[in-house]
Amino acid sequence: MDIITLAEVTGSISVLGYGLAAVGPGIGLGIVVGKTLESMARQPEMASKLQTVMFIGLALIEVLGLLGFVSLFVV
Amino acid sequence: MVQPSGAVLVAAENGPELPSIRDFLPDPILFQGTPFAINRIIFVRLLAMVIILLVLGITASRAKLIPSRWQGAVEWVLDFVRDSVVYQVMGELRGRRYVPMITTIFLTVLVFNLCGVIPGMNIAATATITMPLVFALWTLAQYLVTGIREQGLWPYLKQELFPAGVPWPLYIILTPIQFLELLVIKPVSLTIRLFANMVAGHLLVAVSLAFAQYYIIVVSNKWLALAGVSWFGLGFALTAFEMFVAALQAYIFAILSTVYINQSFPEED
């Protein structure tokens, strides 16, 4: 190892990319679930309807993380 | 938790048998060289299909007015799809036509997903991209046909591509996005969600069990065997988690199909 090389990574660097790709959806899922819980606590009679909408939102956000996962294999 | 030291790895010569993407591209076992070549995953699919047909067929042929416990369980699943998925999103009037389709999608995806945790099958039948793609294309065809039938071609396209209440210069940006969303993003996201979830689940479980096997059987060191036991526990927990994910993904696939079809109906105001 010469003096110019400060850091060296062996193996597939796309694993790091997947880690980065998981950050955004993670934050988003946290916000969605948290807000839904908050609304359920405020209005328990709406709980089942909120849950349905929450799952739809979760699914839409989840795709972003999974795109990172798929690109790990594709690229 | 316990990191293997270099000496142990050298002593064991070969590392754990980690899973790879090769698991999802098995060699054909029947009818090699023809378009009908059957590999392990397709065989699992056929088996799962037979199981669904047998279970539902036998239950339906023995249906009684006073349901037995088993009949009650099957009816509970069918009721769940009808009431909590279709009717809750679309309402009864619109939804009645789509109950058979959504039930088919839900049950098939559920059983195909559960194949991933059944010993002997050990691979989710939805873990290659073709199976989710078929369901997604079915949904695509359904919501296009529904939109054209309920509104006519031009009003439907107008509703989808030029949403009302938007200042007109925004259409330059919005219309291409809406077009992509309609024809590409919706089906592709349905496909990738199911497919990637199943692949990720299989890899997780297989990695933990491969490490468990490696530390307990291959490496002869009783302290590292302890690590192997904890890997085995993790594999056990992840298998349970996979069952949860299988049901959740079937539910999400069904409910998103319903939502997409529901969006094709004219917006009432």
Q: What is the pLDDT of residue B48?
A: 93
Q: What is the pLDDT of residue B3?
A: 46
Q: How far apart (Å, rounded) are the C-alpha atoms in residues B200 and B205?
A: 9
CB contact under 8 A, B88 and A49: yes
ipTM of the complex, rounded to two decimals: 0.77
Angle between helices B222-263 and B99-114 (to 10 degrees): 170
Provide the H-helix boundaries in B84-221.
Answer: 88-90, 92-95, 99-114, 130-151, 153-161, 171-180, 186-213
Please, how many CA atoms are within 13 Å of residue A15, restricted to the half-sphere of its CB?
A: 5
pTM above 0.80, yes or no: yes
Q: What is the pLDDT of residue B186?
A: 92
Say if A49 is an interface residue toward chain B (CB within 8 Å). yes
Residue B59 within a domain: yes
Question: Which positions 2-41 of A are in contact with B (Cβ < 8 Å)?
Answer: none
- Which residues fall within 8 angstroms of residue B151, CB to CB, at 6 or more apart? B159, B264, B265, B266
Residue B11 within a domain: no
**Minimal Cβ distance to B256: which of A48, A59, A67:** A59
**Minimal Cβ distance to B189: which of A52, A58, A63:** A63
Tell me the residue range of the domain where B98 lies. 18-125+196-262
- Which residues fall within 8 angstroms of residue B48, CB to CB, at 6 or more apart? B111, B112, B115, B121, B125
Average pLDDT, chain B: 87
Residues in chain A with CB shorter than 8 Å from the CB of B21 are: 73
Sign of CA dihedral B188, B189, B190, B192: positive
Q: Name the 3-class secondary structure at B183.
A: helix
Residue B165 within a domain: no
- Which domains, from first to last, does chain A contain? 14-72 (1.20.20.10)
Q: How far apart (Å, rounded) are the C-alpha atoms in residues B12 and B215?
A: 10
Say if A58 is an interface residue toward chain B (CB within 8 Å). yes
Given a contact cutoff of 8 angstroms between Cβ atoms, the answer to whether A51 and A36 are in contact is yes
Angle between helices B153-161 and B171-180 (to 10 degrees): 110
Q: Show pLDDT as tens, one digit a residue, over chain B (269 residues).
A: 444 444 444 444 567 788 877 788 887 887 877 777 888 888 899 999 999 999 999 999 988 888 889 999 999 999 999 999 999 989 899 999 999 999 999 999 999 999 989 988 888 888 888 999 999 999 999 999 999 999 999 999 988 888 888 888 889 999 999 999 999 999 999 999 999 999 989 988 988 988 888 888 888 788 888 888 999 999 999 999 999 999 999 999 999 999 999 999 987 65
CB contact under 8 A, A59 and B252: yes
pLDDT tens-digit series, residues B1-13: 444 444 444 444 5
CB contact under 8 A, A66 and B88: no
Q: What is the pLDDT of residue B5?
A: 45
Residue B203 within a domain: yes
Q: What is the pLDDT of residue B216?
A: 87
Q: What is the pLDDT of residue B21?
A: 78
Nearest to B14 by CA among B231, B224, B213: B213
Q: What is the pLDDT of residue A2?
A: 63
Residue B187 within a domain: no
Residues in chain A with CB shorter than 8 Å from the CB of B256 are: 56, 59
Interface mutation vs chain A, best among B84, B185, B189, most A CBs within 10 Å: B189
Number of domains in chain B: 1
Q: How far apart (Å, rounded) are the C-alpha atoms in residues B242 and B136?
A: 22
Interface mutation vs chain B, best among A12, A52, A73, most B CBs within 10 Å: A52
> Phi and psi (nearest 5°) for B268?
-85, 140
Residue B178 within a domain: no
Interface mutation vs chain B, best among A63, A64, A67, A75, most B CBs within 10 Å: A63
Measured in angstroms, the CA of B21 and the nearest CA of chain A are apart by 8
Q: How far apart (Å, rounded) are the C-alpha atoms in residues A44 and A28?
A: 23
Q: Which residue of B has its CA nearest to A71?
A: B196
Q: How far apart (Å, rounded) are the C-alpha atoms in residues B28 and B37?
A: 6
Q: What is the pLDDT of residue A75?
A: 61
- Which residues fall within 8 angstroms of residue B88, CB to CB, at 6 or more apart? A48, A49, A52
Counting as low any pLDDT under 70, the low residues of chain A are: 1-3, 6, 75
Measured in angstroms, the CA of A33 and the nearest CA of chain B are apart by 15
Say if A63 is an interface residue toward chain B (CB within 8 Å). yes
Interface mutation vs chain A, best among B18, B81, B192, B253, most A CBs within 10 Å: B192
Say if A70 is an interface residue toward chain B (CB within 8 Å). yes
Question: Which positions 70-89 of B are in contact with A (Cβ < 8 Å)?
Answer: 84, 88-89
